[in-house]
Structure 1
Amino acid sequence: MVYPALSALLLVFHQLFYLVSGAEFYSSIHEMTKVFGYEQKMLLHMQKFLADNQGKLDFLKARLREFEIERDEARDWGPSYLDSPLNKYLLNKRLTVDWQRVENLMVTSTGEKSLGRLRKLRNRETLPKKRDLEGAIDGLLKLQFVYRLEAKDIVRGVLDGVDHGTQLSSEDCVDIARLALSYHHPRLAHSWLIEAGNRLPGGEKAEELRPQVLALLVQAKAELEDFRGLNDTYQELIKIQPASEEHARNYESFLQSLGEKALVNDSKPILEHAPVPEESQVVDPFQAFCLTCSGHWQLTPKERRHLRCGYVTETHPFLWIAPLKAEELFQDPLLVVYHDVIYQSEIDVIRQLTNNRLVRAMVTGANESVVSNVRTSQITFIPASAHKVLATIDQRVADMTNMNMKYAEDHQFANYGIGGHYGEHMDWFDQISFDAGLVSSPELGNRIATVLFYLSDVAQGGGTAFPRLRTLVKPKKYAAAFWHNLHASGVGDVRTQHGACPIISGSKWVQNRWIREIDQSDRRPCELWDDSLATYAQILEVEKRMEAEAASRKV
């Protein structure tokens, strides 16, 4: 599959390009920006090639004018032109020396050196490949789906209300629609094909693209069961381009498989996005994740009114001098954001430590860790012993959380790419992962808590969504989110399911501190009941009910 016009699309989502050997462009903005200079070099080679050939063309044009003047003069003189020995000499000179020079220049491969250098750059391993372009389109489709954006806005460069100043062509729309169909997103594909049809250019290009648009529309309408629309579009297609035998056979086979449905005359409007479900409706985890990212699911003012903001001083004596600014986002399970808890000087050191170390992030599969579109980012792990700044950050985390950081995992740093996201997941390990040997140092126990530092602001998108809590943590540079992954009983808390929402614009850098269970019993002791079966609030409610029943019996 070829996407000849999508370089503009990539530029919509941050200036590109970089790829270390074996890595990918689209899964990290940081990696993409590092070799933007390659394109600058390619432009210079192209300019040199044009300059060399322009000089050649200018010379040939000048010789052509001279030869035409001599020809016109000979015509005017007639047979007497060759009476002059000078004219005889000049004619012989032209036909031998001058025309030989012209011929030699015309066959010379001018600009070959520039062309060779350009080819060498283009063939580098550190330049985008087809999968990177498909990854960029996939990122765009994720943004459209998760944030319920409309193709008519995206095609004009408007993303979630912000104009990015770049428009897409009809050809771009066709390429995006084709990939959307292959990913089983017929609604999105249909919207892109409508825009492709609206933006068809004139001339031969339109004649080439229009049949492609109609053929893909037939496929999209078939998947959406718009039978009347499908038939109308197919008839329009065969008027301008006779169907191939295979295409006609597929269409007839499709009509036969429909049976009575093919006789339906109604053609309902095709919505680009399914209607937003009511809060009472049951939705799958990914839908809940998307609705939280887009802001359609959130806590009501009544549910938020008991949440507090303030200064934390009680977890360590040092905080009496330098208290931490804390903002509660949820109380049970606890979800807190600490503001201004990492500094620019520390972030500068981190960026130096992570330079040229990022690799594509993986997710834990059934029996191994695998690359997945569920997680489009690049990461690296660095031990706390690698730099004193990392040890300082760990001491600060201990002060913030009152957790023992001695057995915490290595620092993880991540940078997200075009539409970069990490779908809904738990930070704690299930028993299957322990049994399959996928957990490093299992003797340290499960991940009892997480601290997520935001090392950059993000212009649009990129929040951390907690669908079960209907809460979205928006990334803010120098802040850190903290939550417990396990109940006090040690059972994984499914309510902490979360995910990184796709980035619309900007570059997102985060730092993860995963804290293990070992040596935490004095920091977070077990409750007197199994809190994985009932919350403290539920127990109090039962006690109140029992007291009320006892009081009524006494009366």
Structure 2
Amino acid sequence: MVFPLRSVLLLVLHQLVCSVSGVEFFSSINEMTKVFGYEQKMLLHMQRFLAENQGKLDFLKARLREFESERDEAREWGSAYLESPINQYLLNKRLTVDWQRVENLMEASTGEKPLNRLRKLRNRETMPDKKELDGAIDGLLRLQYVYRLKAKDLVRGVLDGVDYGTQLNSEHCVDIARLALRDQHPQLAHSWLIEAKDRLSGGERAKELKPQILALLVQAKKELEDFRGLNDTYQELISIHPVSEEHVRNYETFMETLREKSLLNESKTILEHPPIPREDEPVGEFQAYSLTCSGHWQLTPKEKRHLRCGYVTETHPFLWIAPLKAEELFQDPLLVLYHDVIYQSEIDVIRKLTNNRLVRATITGNNESVVSNVRTSQITFIPATAHKVLATIDQRVADMTNLNMKYAEDHQFANYGIGGHYGQHTDWFYQTSFDAGLVSSPEMGNRIATVLFYLSDVAQGGGTAFPQLRQLLKPKKYAAAFWHNLHASGVGDVRTQHGACPIIVGSKWVQNRWIRENDQSDRRPCELWDDSLATYAQILEMNKRNEAQAASS
């Protein structure tokens, strides 16, 4: 079940500004579920206020019916209500804008008690504010860009082909377009503004919105160099909304410059998304990550035909009794997905251990760990000694990987929020991080390997993308991915660069086990050659060529 889109995009909003020391909602579905109950209490206070003011303000009554309808729909859909990013934006919109209007109307000498209680709720530290609303919209735009979604679908509540039923109105489209322009995404902004214009209805609010839409379209078309469209839109704007003389002079000067350069009639077809690049076309790291997340980059059947799946028994004697189900996803570097290697009873314990411990995740900057939109999730670290279940999981990881868990880091648990993602990165540390003192327990060495447990299924999106391997791991509850981060020589393997793809719908929980290289030499010895300079497959191929040349000479 899915909550109506109308409430979740509003629930995601509080305290982007407090993301280091305070609560933050848009980066964790788990945290958003906690704040949702406040709106239910606000509805009760509003009901009491109206009971004391019978016949007062028909607008308030209409607003109450609208809010109650949304509440009832949310109850019918259940916990999945908070899993849709569009729902999250709309809920954020209501809590930050619509409730403010309600509060203003309720200000009167009667009904002071419910009004004061409503104010007390809205002023809580754990209520959303405008900056977290921006975080919610940013998550929507990330989904649109990475998965190449269309605004005309999103506005109808269609997310990657699945219809969730709730529609956005013209005002919502303007909010999203404005942020897209601010963050230098003019193509996306243009698509949202076209939808905003098409969805204008009659009434005073439409008269207010139309000049805003046209003004933003002028800005978008200018950035996209659609000068003919810019002029047509500007003429439409001034026909319905007078502008200052200074603005007219500036615009005429700009148009004269275009005439001199013969650009006035320059018109461009504005694409919402750029074309898919050719195989031989160079792409940036983020674009490669996005193409992998969206499924446009993947291995061919020929490249996958040598991959195997089966039962693993050789890494520990216990596995003779209880073998592990393993699926080989790549051979060099090794990437394996183990199935059914964690249990619901263990996940239940983990959820209790992580309760009220999640904080906004950071990334390693030049000289410090910083909060960044590159990583929108909330995390916590828990030592293996905290519960016997964590020690049991570590023994299982040792059986799976044949690595020593004595020097593994604390268990990391993460929950992702609206469009939650972690852009392309490597798990191993660069030497600069060691030099800056950003690596805990540096004496344990670098991260030799990663085991990533999936603690939940995800309805849409949320995969783990390996752009250089053209592999996308879809989240599968109870499974775990394993890969080596370092070459056998100890050098970081850049081919293991990966990223957590944005969540379209759902709540994603993962557990990371990062294993350090100290005391692993008997488990993964160095090769007789430096495997960081060339892969084993490349060396075999080179030997074949040398043998062929020697035979022909």
- Asked if Structure 1 and Structure 2 have the same fold, meaning a TM-score greater than 0.5 normalized by the shorter chain, the answer is yes
Aligned position for 1:481: 481
Aligned position for 1:356: 356
Shift of 1:138: 0.3
Q: Match for 2:47: what amino acid?
A: Q
Q: Does 1:531 align with 2:531?
A: yes
State whether residues 14 and 506 of structure 1, in contact with CA within 8 Å, keep that contact through their aligned partners in structure 2: no
Shift of 1:312: 0.5
Aligned position for 2:240: 240
Shift of 1:108: 8.2
Which whole-Å CA distance do the structure 1 matches of 2:521 and 2:301 have between them?
A: 36
Aligned position for 2:290: 290
- Pair 543,263 (structure 1): closer, same or farther in 2 beyond 3 Å: closer
Shift of 1:303: 0.4
State whether residues 403 and 520 of structure 1, in contact with CA within 8 Å, keep that contact through their aligned partners in structure 2: yes
Which whole-Å CA distance do the structure 2 matches of 1:533 and 1:259 have between them?
A: 56
Q: Match for 2:161: what amino acid?
A: G
Shift of 1:353: 0.5
Aligned position for 1:50: 50
Which whole-Å CA distance do the structure 2 matches of 1:17 and 1:137 have between them?
A: 10
- Pair 213,527 (structure 1): closer, same or farther in 2 beyond 3 Å: same
Shift of 1:327: 0.5
Shift of 1:156: 0.3
- Pair 205,367 (structure 1): closer, same or farther in 2 beyond 3 Å: same
Which whole-Å CA distance do the structure 1 matches of 2:260 and 2:300 have between them?
A: 47
State whether residues 293 and 472 of structure 2, in contact with CA within 8 Å, keep that contact through their aligned partners in structure 1: yes
- Alignment map for 1:52-71 (pairs within 5 Å): 52-54=52-54
Residues 107-156 of structure 1, C-alpha deviation per residue, up to 9 Å, x if partnerless? 98322111110110010001111111000000000000000000000000
Q: Match for 1:219: what amino acid?
A: Q
Shift of 1:168: 0.3
Aligned position for 1:504: 504
SS at match of 2:280: coil
Which whole-Å CA distance do the structure 1 matches of 2:296 and 2:162 have between them?
A: 19
Identity %: 82
Aligned position for 2:434: 434
Larger Rg: 1
Aligned position for 1:345: 345
Q: Does 1:449 align with 2:449?
A: yes
State whether residues 309 and 326 of structure 1, in contact with CA within 8 Å, keep that contact through their aligned partners in structure 2: yes
Residues 187-239 of structure 1, C-alpha deviation per residue, up to 9 Å, x if partnerless? 00000000000000202111101000000000000000001100111111111
State whether residues 379 and 412 of structure 1, in contact with CA within 8 Å, keep that contact through their aligned partners in structure 2: yes
State whether residues 12 and 166 of structure 1, in contact with CA within 8 Å, keep that contact through their aligned partners in structure 2: no
Aligned position for 1:389: 389
Aligned position for 1:193: 193
Shift of 1:545: 1.6
Shift of 1:544: 1.4
Which whole-Å CA distance do the structure 2 matches of 1:458 and 1:131 have between them?
A: 27
Which whole-Å CA distance do the structure 2 matches of 1:57 and 1:202 have between them?
A: 22
State whether residues 18 and 32 of structure 1, in contact with CA within 8 Å, keep that contact through their aligned partners in structure 2: no
Shift of 1:538: 1.2
- Pair 35,327 (structure 1): closer, same or farther in 2 beyond 3 Å: same
Aligned position for 1:369: 369
Aligned position for 2:170: 170
- Alignment map for 1:22-171 (pairs within 5 Å): 22-54=22-54, 109-171=109-171
State whether residues 13 and 135 of structure 2, in contact with CA within 8 Å, keep that contact through their aligned partners in structure 1: no
Which whole-Å CA distance do the structure 2 matches of 1:306 and 1:423 have between them?
A: 29
SS at match of 2:52: helix
Which whole-Å CA distance do the structure 2 matches of 1:14 and 1:180 have between them?
A: 18
State whether residues 4 and 165 of structure 2, in contact with CA within 8 Å, keep that contact through their aligned partners in structure 1: no
Which whole-Å CA distance do the structure 1 matches of 2:433 and 2:251 have between them?
A: 47
With the length of structure 2 as denominator, give the TM-score of the two structures.
0.87
State whether residues 9 and 133 of structure 2, in contact with CA within 8 Å, keep that contact through their aligned partners in structure 1: no
Aligned position for 1:11: 7
Shift of 1:23: 2.1
Aligned position for 1:225: 225
Shift of 1:264: 3.9
Equivalent pairs counted in the alignment come to 499
Residues 486-519 of structure 1, C-alpha deviation per residue, up to 9 Å, x if partnerless? 0000000000000000000000000000000000
- Pair 108,285 (structure 1): closer, same or farther in 2 beyond 3 Å: closer
**Structure 2 segments unaligned to the other structure (5+ residues):** 59-106
Which whole-Å CA distance do the structure 2 matches of 1:521 and 1:534 have between them?
A: 21
Which whole-Å CA distance do the structure 1 matches of 2:130 and 2:182 have between them?
A: 15
Does 439-448 or 247-256 show the bigger shift?
Answer: 247-256
- CA RMSD, 1 decimal: 2.0
Aligned position for 2:322: 322
Which whole-Å CA distance do the structure 2 matches of 1:193 and 1:435 have between them?
A: 48
Which whole-Å CA distance do the structure 2 matches of 1:12 and 1:314 have between them?
A: 48
Shift of 1:182: 0.1
Aligned position for 1:331: 331
Aligned position for 1:251: 251
Q: Match for 2:371: what amino acid?
A: V
Aligned position for 2:96: none
Q: Match for 1:541: what amino acid?
A: E
State whether residues 488 and 525 of structure 2, in contact with CA within 8 Å, keep that contact through their aligned partners in structure 1: yes
Q: Match for 1:379: what amino acid?
A: I
Shift of 1:552: 2.1
Aligned position for 2:465: 465
Shift of 1:249: 4.4
- Pair 14,491 (structure 1): closer, same or farther in 2 beyond 3 Å: farther
Q: Match for 2:115: what amino acid?
A: L
Q: Does 1:544 align with 2:540?
A: no
Aligned position for 1:100: none
SS at match of 1:495: helix
- Pair 55,255 (structure 1): closer, same or farther in 2 beyond 3 Å: closer
Which whole-Å CA distance do the structure 1 matches of 2:449 and 2:283 have between them?
A: 27
Which whole-Å CA distance do the structure 2 matches of 1:165 and 1:406 have between them?
A: 51
Aligned position for 2:98: none
Q: Match for 1:35: what amino acid?
A: V
SS at match of 1:337: strand
State whether residues 361 and 375 of structure 2, in contact with CA within 8 Å, keep that contact through their aligned partners in structure 1: yes
Which whole-Å CA distance do the structure 1 matches of 2:261 and 2:41 have between them?
A: 58
Residues 391-424 of structure 1, C-alpha deviation per residue, up to 9 Å, x if partnerless? 1100000000001000100110000000000000
Q: Match for 1:503: what amino acid?
A: I
With the length of structure 1 as denominator, give the TM-score of the two structures.
0.87
